[in-house]
Amino acid sequence: MGEFDLIRRYFQRPAAAGVEVGVGDDCAVLVPTPGARWLVSSDMLVEGRHFLSTVDPARLGHKALAVNLSDLAACGATPRGFTLALALPRVDEAWLAGFARGLWALADASGCPLIGGDTTQGPLNLCITVFGEAPPGQALLRSGARVGDEIWASGRLGDARLALEVFRGTVALGGDAFETVRAAMECPTPRLALGQALRGIATAAADVSDGLLGDLGHILAASGVGARLDVDALPRSAVLAAQPAALQRECLLAGGDDYELVFTAPAGARMPDVGVAVTRIGRIEAEPGLRVVDASGAEVRHGLRSFDHFQE
Amino acid sequence: MGEFDLIRRYFQRPAAAGVEVGVGDDCAVLVPTPGARWLVSSDMLVEGRHFLSTVDPARLGHKALAVNLSDLAACGATPRGFTLALALPRVDEAWLAGFARGLWALADASGCPLIGGDTTQGPLNLCITVFGEAPPGQALLRSGARVGDEIWASGRLGDARLALEVFRGTVALGGDAFETVRAAMECPTPRLALGQALRGIATAAADVSDGLLGDLGHILAASGVGARLDVDALPRSAVLAAQPAALQRECLLAGGDDYELVFTAPAGARMPDVGVAVTRIGRIEAEPGLRVVDASGAEVRHGLRSFDHFQE
């Protein structure tokens, strides 16, 4: 099968609403919503770094789009479309069919159509760029946190890292427990509805991709503030809560790959109810730096840091 | 140097006009021109396939953006910005400095700022996604060619392929001649001004990336027409014109990597003068298929086909 047959078979569909020209021309052509701002984000996934070569291709298709949609969610954007650039070592139709199935399922569920891209031969690499919209001045940025704001996290943190430790062989988990955390790692849910509902409520937001310490750290740096973070308040699954305390803290604080939202809001702000739990995990302070404390208020020495692709 | 230092040093600048938020948040935020359509294209470049590992990194930075801008040019779009996702085997500061210099030079010259992206460790891979604008109904598409239209090409074709043959060792060329064709291969010029000037004149357009036969073939397929192409009329450099006839035809018809525009316009249409030559190379016909003829009108049997990443 050639490059163009491959595109036609797996990645081409009739253009969706708001898409004048989709896959198959030099550019896609989109009709913007009058007055809206355009939001753009791009993420590249490399085999062996962002995913294991053995991962179910449908789950990989889901995740490749999910991590990008998570950036739109962190900014409170409404998805409008995405491009997919794909380097494949060879044409493996069973793999492509699975990958495309997972990708389209999330695209359909998110109202975010595939509008263009590129395919080439090369070491397996997936690059997705997503486009979304938000009303002027309402995109959630990292720079808006103010002293006295409360810090919140959505969903549960740390399960993806726990699953990675099982794959690495440092942790043993039984069947159901493993499948729970493995699904968190392989099938993250981008918090699009929550992000959109937080427009006008959250003062700053980011998604937890590199680890809570790092991603909250980006908010603190961009906002010029510090914070106190209650590690015992961090939302976690029953599976993670059954692990040793040090491992829990590592997964919660430095795990990454969570794709939950961490955000700040004025104290007492009413949280939106969109079917996803949000938990208050700390407070913005004037003193620079990020202080991790336990439930008693005592500072926790952790020595953990955020994920960095070039410093390991 | 870590991932975030690398981004700050080489890829972060103050946000350009029309960019509310640039590199450094979860998403970039752009202010669209009221009423304009948004055009998007994405291209992925893999070491060893799209470029040689020995290429000057500044030229590679130029080319990675140029091949994407060429898609905007083919649609008559005005550039607005681009994202860069970059997988690097290691942090090589000299390489990065050169790459960033070539990239920014073309970005500045094209009014197309870098607004976001991603960096990760992995086999060298560059994925750029470009965004542009065009007035409603004025984007140049592949589907508008009509029987009787004339077919045009910009600039000169075939030099990039000739340079590739020199690198492959199948052709020998002296110093100046080699540098000329090598520059065509490594430093293509996206025809942005021509593309924009062709709005309202061209009925269909594409850029020549996979080879003229293939890219003109896309126009014919999308427009439901056929064509007659005069191989002797194809614009070529003096260097290419000095090569054997069969090699010339191979480079002109199936070379690819030209990043010139091939477009159709009604017979007698006045061509815009934007400082780039355009040459009439054929005519759209009702009979399906692409007939290559010589200056005498005799059909040329060529057996050539367009580049396909999975059929070589």
Output the pLDDT for position A14. Answer: 78
Tell me how crowded residue B266 is: count the other CB atoms within 10 A of its CB. 13
Residue B8 makes CB contacts below 8 A (sequence gap 6+) with: none
pLDDT above 70: percentage of residues in chain B: 97
Both A85 and A21 in one domain: the answer is yes
To the nearest whole angstrom, how far is the Cα of A87 from the nearest Cα of chain B? 8
Q: Which of A44, A77, A309 sits opposite B3 (nearest CB)?
A: A309
Q: Is residue A130 part of a domain?
A: yes
- Mean pLDDT for B212-228 is 95
Both A215 and A255 in one domain: the answer is yes
What residue spans of A141-241 are helical by DSSP H? 159-168, 175-186, 192-197, 212-223, 238-241
- Mean pLDDT for B81-97 is 92
To the nearest whole angstrom, how far is the Cα of B275 from the nearest Cα of chain A? 23
Report how many Cβ contacts below 8 Å link chain A to chain B.
242
**Which pLDDT band, with edges at 50, 70 and 90, does B306 fall under?**
low
**Which pLDDT band, with edges at 50, 70 and 90, does A8 fall under?**
confident
Q: Which helix (H) or strand (E) holds A285?
A: strand A278-285
Both A234 and A104 in one domain: the answer is no
User: Strand pairing partners for A263?
Assistant: A152, A205
- Mean pLDDT for B68-83 is 96
Q: Which range has the worst mean pLDDT, A8-12, A69-73, A228-232, B188-192? A: A8-12
Q: Which of A27, A32, A136 sits opposite B41 (nearest CB)?
A: A27
- Mean pLDDT for B268-291 is 96
CATH (domain of A245): 3.90.650.10
* Alpha carbons B269 and B32: distance in angstroms, whole number: 32
Contact A143 B25 (CB under 8 A): yes
Which position has the higher pLDDT, A2 or B90? B90
To the nearest whole angstrom, how far is the Cα of B199 from the nearest Cα of chain A? 15
Both B180 and B272 in one domain: the answer is yes
Contact B84 A42 (CB under 8 A): yes
Output the pLDDT for position B3. Answer: 75
Paired tokens of B214 = 């293939």
**Which pLDDT band, with edges at 50, 70 and 90, does B309 fall under?**
low
Residue A202 makes CB contacts below 8 A (sequence gap 6+) with: A76, A140, A144, A152, A263, A264, A265
Both A188 and A276 in one domain: the answer is yes
Output the pLDDT for position B304. Answer: 73
Binning chain B into helix, strand and coil, the percentages to the nearest 5 are: 35, 25, 40
Q: Is residue B306 part of a domain?
A: no
**Which pLDDT band, with edges at 50, 70 and 90, does A26 fall under?**
confident
- Where is the domain boundary, B86, B110, B134? B134
Both A128 and A237 in one domain: the answer is no
- Mean pLDDT for B110-136 is 94
Contact B41 A116 (CB under 8 A): yes
* Alpha carbons B80 and B72: distance in angstroms, whole number: 10
Q: How many domains does chain B have?
A: 2
Residue set of the binding site of A for ATP: 117-118, 142, 209
pLDDT above 70: percentage of residues in chain A: 97
**Which pLDDT band, with edges at 50, 70 and 90, does B311 fall under?**
low
pLDDT tens profile B242-265 = 999 999 999 999 998 999 999 999
CATH (domain of A117): 3.30.1330.10
Contact A83 B42 (CB under 8 A): yes
- Which residues of chain A does B12 touch, with a Cβ-Cβ cutoff of 8 Å? none
Residue B26 among known ligand-binding residues? yes
- Which residues of chain A does B123 touch, with a Cβ-Cβ cutoff of 8 Å? 46, 122-123, 125
- Where is the domain boundary, A95, A111, A134? A134
Residue set of the binding site of A for substrate: 50, 257, 307
Structural domain boundaries, residue B166: 142-293
- Where is the domain boundary, B99, B116, B134? B134
Q: Is the pLDDT of residue B223 over 90?
A: yes
Amino acid at B237: S
- Mean pLDDT for B74-91 is 94
Output the pLDDT for position B296. Answer: 92
The CA-CA-CA angle for residues A65, A68, A69, to 5°, reads 85
Q: Is residue A307 part of a domain?
A: no
Both A178 and A240 in one domain: the answer is yes
Both B151 and B129 in one domain: the answer is no
Q: Is residue A266 part of a domain?
A: yes
Q: Is the pLDDT of residue A169 over 70?
A: yes
**Which pLDDT band, with edges at 50, 70 and 90, does A256 fall under?**
confident
Residue B136 has φ and ψ, to the nearest 5°, of -55, 135
Q: Is the pLDDT of residue A312 over 60?
A: no
**Which pLDDT band, with edges at 50, 70 and 90, does A54 fall under?**
confident
Q: Is residue B50 part of a domain?
A: yes
Tell me how crowded residue A117 is: count the other CB atoms within 10 A of its CB. 24
pLDDT above 90: percentage of residues in chain A: 80
Is the Cα dihedral A268, A273, A274, A276 positive or negative? positive
Q: What residue in A sits closest to B89 (Cα-Cα)?
A: A310
**Which pLDDT band, with edges at 50, 70 and 90, does B75 fall under?**
very high
Q: What residue in A sits closest to B43 (Cα-Cα)?
A: A118
Both B121 and B159 in one domain: the answer is no
**Mutate which: B12, B40, B196, vs A, most A CBs within 10 A:** B40
* Alpha carbons A159 and A256: distance in angstroms, whole number: 9
Residue pair A116/A83 in contact (Cβ under 8 Å)? The answer is yes
Both A148 and A272 in one domain: the answer is yes
**Which pLDDT band, with edges at 50, 70 and 90, does B174 fall under?**
confident
Q: Shortest CA distance to A49 belongs to which of A247, A211, A257?
A: A257
Both B252 and B169 in one domain: the answer is yes
pLDDT tens profile A132-142 = 999 999 999 99
Output the pLDDT for position A109. Answer: 96
Q: Is the pLDDT of residue A7 over 90?
A: no
Contact B83 A129 (CB under 8 A): yes
- Mean pLDDT for A223-249 is 96
Both A217 and A247 in one domain: the answer is yes
- HSE of A195 in the Cβ direction (CA atoms, 13 Å)? 31
- Mean pLDDT for B54-70 is 95
Q: Is the pLDDT of residue A18 over 90?
A: no
pLDDT above 90: percentage of residues in chain B: 80
Q: Is residue A302 part of a domain?
A: no
Q: Is residue B68 part of a domain?
A: yes
Q: Is the pLDDT of residue B302 over 80?
A: no
- The conformation of residue A175, written as its DSSP 8-state character, comes to H
Q: What residue in A sits closest to B39 (Cα-Cα)?
A: A29
- Which residues of chain B does A90 touch, with a Cβ-Cβ cutoff of 8 Å? 310
* Alpha carbons B125 and B47: distance in angstroms, whole number: 7
Q: Shortest CA distance to A43 belongs to which of A110, A125, A111, A115?
A: A125
Burial class (CB in 10 A: 0-12, 13-18, 19+), B93: exposed
Q: Is the pLDDT of residue B281 over 60?
A: yes
Q: Which of B3, B28, B125 sits opposite A39 (nearest CB)?
A: B28
Output the pLDDT for position B308. Answer: 62
Rg (CA), chain A: 20
pLDDT tens profile B29-48 = 999 999 999 999 999 999 88
Q: Which of A85, A141, A142 sits opposite B42 (nearest CB)?
A: A85
Q: Is the pLDDT of residue B202 over 90?
A: yes
* Phi-psi sector, B24: left (phi>0), alpha (psi -120 to 50), beta: left
Contact B41 A74 (CB under 8 A): no
* Phi-psi sector, A67: left (phi>0), alpha (psi -120 to 50), beta: alpha
To the nearest whole angstrom, how far is the Cα of B127 from the nearest Cα of chain A? 7
Q: Which of A29, A84, A309 sits opposite B121 (nearest CB)?
A: A309
What average pLDDT does the structure give for chain B?
92
Q: Is residue B244 part of a domain?
A: yes
- Mean pLDDT for B220-229 is 96
Q: Is the pLDDT of residue B7 over 80?
A: no
